[in-house]
Amino acid sequence: MEWLLDPAAWVGLLTLVVLEIVLGIDNLIFIAILADKLPPAQRDRARIMGLSLALVMRLGLLSLMSWLVTLTRPLFSIGPLSPSGRDLILMAGGLFLLFKGTMELHERLEGGQHAGASGPRVYASFWVIVTQIVVLDAVFSLDSVITAVGMVDHLAIMMIAVVIAIGIMLLASKPLTRFVNAHPTVVVLCLGFLLMIGFSLLAESFGFKVPKGYLYAAIGFSVAIEALNQVARRNLLKLDARRPMRERTAAAVLRMLGKRPPADEPDLPSQDGPTAPAFGVEERNMVSGVLTLAERSIRSIMTPRMDVSWINIDDDAETIRRQLTEAPHSFFPVCRGSLDEVLGIGRAKDLIADLITEGRVRRNRLRDPIIVHESIGILRLMDTLKRSRGQLVLVADEFGAIEGLVTPIDVFEAIAGEFPDEDEMPDIVADGDNTWKIDGAADLHHVEQVLETEGLVDEAQDYSTLAGYLLSRFGHLPKPGDVCEYEAHHEHFRFEVLEMDGRRIALVRVEKRPVEPLDEDAALAND
């Protein structure tokens, strides 16, 4: 043990540990890729077993140094080639790496096993993977041991260096495996490294020595580029995370449908002239309507109480007939005295038939009313509407008062936009470029879609119409001519109250214009 007092031996030990770790990185990468083919519960076991076998194999080869030296002697000659046992092992290992790396690349790029579209993922057999790891350990261990024999003279130093290197690799293997398998581009890059190493082993078996420095320089450069790529990807994800969740989800769904959001479309002129966007505003609004449907309250889609057309059974036949003729609806709530005293739901043609034959509305012809609480979700409401077979559904508050009604067309309008009845005017009417006249009762989600902005809807608030939004901004009942302004995404919106209907905001003019940089500078100067 006199080498313990020799500083050169310690320097050799340190150098050999570093080289053993460097030479073992490729082995570690391939073990990480192979372990990913196993069920999650078996991956750590395969990884530890693979590195343990590598340690045993390298220590065994070091103890057989006399036999290892004979592997460098030529076994036979074929023309100019005189392969040794080492050359044959390197040739077999190189061919195995080229074959395995090519198959893995094909599988990753073509999505053979990782697609998972037709069912659950199929994992490989544990012992099949372990066998492949053993074959790779044999190839990489041979190269590692030959390097150790060529660097130091003491067997103890070689064994200690191998044990330390394998121990460090064992500690680093799990985070490296997790990182490699979590980044598909890193896996492809590692497979490229293995192809390059396999080619170098094959070339070396034929007597063409490829300096390791060239290989590691290429690998180091590729790793640096991939590191920059991962940093750029992380920054892009952070930037994308600032976008609203609804917008990101809608964009992702549209990409799955084969369409690209406008923000992703390059503003490059086409050789065939200007082309239309990949999809229109209506399509984006419909996708957004579907994605946000479950989040909306029933108040945002229902017809409010003040706009409900209902039949008072105590009215005379002529009044009821005139009301049925003038209203373009198929179903009417039939009540006694007020909307809160609902007797049933009548079909318009049945009610008219009763008036003609009986001169009155027969209660036994009415359908039982379907009443839901205003807190019900839209998805549950849709199930109720399906069971109603086209009949309207009444909405009541916690005190039993009728707040409004919902029909299947109301749910459809929440997705596809407004479909006014014959006796209705559209809630939103264009009044010039970037100017609209909007009914105060217009749905706030629809207003956002038409104005192509966000921030008006606040799920924490109790309002669902433009009038409710403006009342929350004003803080008091406004008068015609009062103005409210709003800025979002470098755009300026001006809301002007045009008409009041009692205590209700009836009509609003909305103007939209971009925020000019000069306006921002002037505002800063005024401050």
DSSP for 163-224 reads HHHHHHHHHHHHHHHHHHHH-HHHHHHHHHHHHHHHHHHHHHHTT----HHHHHHHHHHHHH
Residue 20's pLDDT band (cuts 50, 70, 90): low
Per-residue pLDDT at 501 exceeds 80: yes
**Nearest one of 367, 375, 366 to 396, comparing CA atoms:** 375
Residue 321's pLDDT band (cuts 50, 70, 90): very high
Q: How far apart are CA 363 and CA 365, in angstroms?
A: 5
Neighbours of 346 (CB within 10 A): 26
Residue with tokens 């007092």: 5
For residue 334, how far is the Cα from the chain centroid? 48
Pairing of strands 331-336, 311-312: parallel
Contact 58, 64 (CB under 8 A): no
Task: Indicate the DSSP class of residue 368.
Answer: P
Q: How far apart are CA 198 and CA 437, in angstroms?
A: 71
Q: How far apart are CA 283 and CA 280, in angstroms?
A: 5
Contact 476, 484 (CB under 8 A): no
CA atoms within 13 A on the CB side of 108: 21
State the DSSP H helix or E strand holding residue 396, giving kind and residue range, or none if neither: strand 393-396
Residue 156's pLDDT band (cuts 50, 70, 90): confident
**Tokens describing residue 314:** 């105590």
Residue 270's pLDDT band (cuts 50, 70, 90): very low
What local confidence, expressed as pLDDT, does residue 277 receive? 47
Per-residue pLDDT at 220 exceeds 70: yes
What local confidence, expressed as pLDDT, does residue 269 receive? 44
Residue 273's pLDDT band (cuts 50, 70, 90): very low
* Terminal-residue alpha carbon distance, the chain: 81
Contact 50, 133 (CB under 8 A): yes
Cβ-proximal residues to 223 (8 Å cutoff; 6+ apart), any chain: 189
Per-residue pLDDT at 399 exceeds 80: yes
Phi, then psi, of 212 in degrees rounded to 5: -60, -30
In this prediction, residues 232-257 reach a mean pLDDT of: 68
In this prediction, residues 406-422 reach a mean pLDDT of: 79
**Nearest one of 347, 353, 344, 335 to 371, comparing CA atoms:** 344
Per-residue pLDDT at 275 exceeds 60: no
Pairing of strands 303-304, 402-406: antiparallel
pLDDT of 324-354, one tens digit each?
A: 988 888 899 999 999 999 999 999 999 999 9
Query: What's the mean per-residue pLDDT of the chain?
Result: 76
Q: How far apart are CA 341 and CA 335, in angstroms?
A: 5
Residue with tokens 């205590």: 503
What local confidence, expressed as pLDDT, does residue 116 receive? 44
In this prediction, residues 197-206 reach a mean pLDDT of: 79
Task: Indicate the DSSP class of residue 443.
Answer: B
Residue 265's pLDDT band (cuts 50, 70, 90): very low
Task: Lowest mean pLDDT of 1-15, 156-170, 428-442, 505-519, name the range.
Answer: 1-15
What local confidence, expressed as pLDDT, does residue 489 receive? 67
Q: How far apart are CA 5 and CA 337, in angstroms?
A: 109
Residue with tokens 């890193």: 186
Residue 406's pLDDT band (cuts 50, 70, 90): very high
Per-residue pLDDT at 257 exceeds 60: no
Contact 507, 425 (CB under 8 A): no
In this prediction, residues 41-65 reach a mean pLDDT of: 77
What local confidence, expressed as pLDDT, does residue 396 receive? 93
Per-residue pLDDT at 68 exceeds 70: no
What local confidence, expressed as pLDDT, does residue 313 receive? 92
**Nearest one of 285, 335, 288, 281 to 308, comparing CA atoms:** 335
- Between 182 and 523, the more confident residue is 182
In this prediction, residues 307-311 reach a mean pLDDT of: 90
State the DSSP H helix or E strand holding residue 339, giving kind and residue range, or none if neither: strand 338-347
What local confidence, expressed as pLDDT, does residue 202 receive? 81
**Which ranges of 331-431 does DSSP label H, i.e. alpha helix?**
348-357, 378-388, 408-416
What local confidence, expressed as pLDDT, does residue 143 receive? 61
What local confidence, expressed as pLDDT, does residue 55 receive? 78
406-432 per-residue burial string, b: 16 or more CB within 10 A, e: under 16: bbbebbebbbebeeeeeeeeebbeeee
Residue 115's pLDDT band (cuts 50, 70, 90): very low
Per-residue pLDDT at 359 exceeds 70: yes
- Between 287 and 438, the more confident residue is 438
What local confidence, expressed as pLDDT, does residue 427 receive? 80
What local confidence, expressed as pLDDT, does residue 527 receive? 45
What local confidence, expressed as pLDDT, does residue 23 receive? 60
Cβ-proximal residues to 484 (8 Å cutoff; 6+ apart), any chain: 470, 473, 474, 494, 495
State the DSSP H helix or E strand holding residue 231, giving kind and residue range, or none if neither: helix 212-241
Pairing of strands 371-373, 393-396: parallel
Residue 69's pLDDT band (cuts 50, 70, 90): low
What local confidence, expressed as pLDDT, does residue 393 receive? 92
What local confidence, expressed as pLDDT, does residue 508 receive? 92
Most confident by average pLDDT, 26-35, 59-68, 133-142, 191-200: 191-200
What local confidence, expressed as pLDDT, does residue 334 receive? 94
Contact 474, 491 (CB under 8 A): no
Longest dimension (CA), the chain: 122
Q: How far apart are CA 297 and CA 294, in angstroms?
A: 8
